[in-house]
Amino acid sequence: MDPKQLATERFTAVEAELRDLSRWMYEHPEVAYQERATSERLVAFLTAAGFDVAYPAHGLETAFSARAGSGGPEVVVCAEYDALPEVGHACGHNIIATAACGAGAALAPLADELGIRVRVLGTPAEEAYGGKVDLIEAGAFEGAAAAMMIHPSPMDLVDPAALGVVHLEVEYQGKESHAAFAPHLGVNALDAAVQAYVNVSTLRQSLLPTDRVHGVIVHGGGAPNVIPGFTSMAWYVRSAAADRLVELRRRVEACFEAAAVATGCTVTLKELGHPYVDLVSDPVLVELYAANSAALGRPMPRRGPDTPMAGSTDMGNVSHVVPSIHPMLDIHSLPAVNHQKEFAAHTITPDGDAAIRDGALAMAWTVVDLATADRWDELGAAL
């Protein structure tokens, strides 16, 4: 039988289970590096699908590495499964994880016949810290011929751009005092945080269209009658080009330092997790994925000048070491977009389920094409 047809049959046999798993994840969101119950469930699925699973893997408690196939080029399918604080699976990583498991289940029984190895790699902490960077550093991608994943979105796009990002923690230390009886003896750390926010807002006029700077006050004080002696903020600084990101970060940090000078506080800047870099889509993987997705009834547009700006992903870092793709799959959520509760609710509709199927099968069929047409040597032209 045709390997694509076989892969489709294997996927269809587990599709209902994957839909249930996606719903279970929606109902049990776990944030970055806390994905204990989630990783356990995914590992149980992959073990039952015939994978040889290492869990935990690569020194990360919630990472796993599921292998099938005994020789030949290795394809890594990345499963993300962390949720966001407060809004749950509002980035739809329940769809990413189940599509990755579905692609794996479709390919595992064919791996030896195709002369390939398939690995479903559980990659925690995409929304914070950058789990894939930890995995790269631990050697998880060494020797891989290709890496792939899909991501739900309000639009189809086979080759999205992603911005580089640094995650900053900013702390102001001042001095508490009675806000009415002796305000002059206090040093107001909330004033510093507010001034920092205003400074960055002022900087916005000189940002490029491919820059993004956004932050929140994490701790703003304890009581209105106590001058806050300590405040903390979390900021993301993003830009499309690596050198621009360095420059932008310098200017944003100057905003934080200026607020400390103005208020008499001291400031501490700390980088949280790993920086993410831009995403490089491999042209051969893009071509094959787009053709297979179209054959499944989901034509995938390519990026153009009017394509809206993307976010950031640690898959960008992977794409610089292994030929990669990260297509975005429309779940018809508009007006809801990623990181809204309404988007999370949309991941468990028939449109969300369709993204699991289309993503899993287009990835599996792409791997079948790589193997049957022996196109491995063509990969990596963009690196």
In angstroms, the CA 123 to CA 119 distance is 12
Q: How far is the CB of 82 from Zn ion (least distance, A)?
A: 8
- How many residues bind Zn ion (CB under 5 A)? The answer is 1
Residue pair 62/122 in contact by the 8 Å Cβ criterion: yes
Subset of residues 38 to 97 that bind Zn ion, contact rule: CB under 5 A: 91
Residue closest to Zn ion (Cβ): 91
Class of residue 207 by CB neighbours under 10 A (exposed 0-12, middle 13-18, buried 19+) = middle
Q: How far is the CB of 163 from Zn ion (least distance, A)?
A: 12
Q: How far is the CB of 123 from Zn ion (least distance, A)?
A: 11
| Residue 212, strand partner residues | 238
Q: Pick the closer one to Zn ion by CB: 120 or 315.
A: 315
Task: Check binding of 99 to Zn ion (CB under 5 A).
Answer: no
Q: Pick the closer one to Zn ion by CB: 10 or 238.
A: 238
Q: Pick the closer one to Zn ion by CB: 125 or 192.
A: 125
Return the closest-CA partner of residue 162 out of 331, 355, 325, 356: 325
Q: Pick the closer one to Zn ion by CB: 132 or 249.
A: 132
Q: How far is the CB of 314 from Zn ion (least distance, A)?
A: 10
Q: How far is the CB of 127 from Zn ion (least distance, A)?
A: 5
Q: Pick the closer one to Zn ion by CB: 125 or 168.
A: 125
| 149's tokens | 């994943």
Q: How far is the CB of 115 from Zn ion (least distance, A)?
A: 33
Task: Check binding of 140 to Zn ion (CB under 5 A).
Answer: no
Q: Pick the closer one to Zn ion by CB: 227 or 310.
A: 310
Site of interaction with Zn ion (CB under 5 A): 91
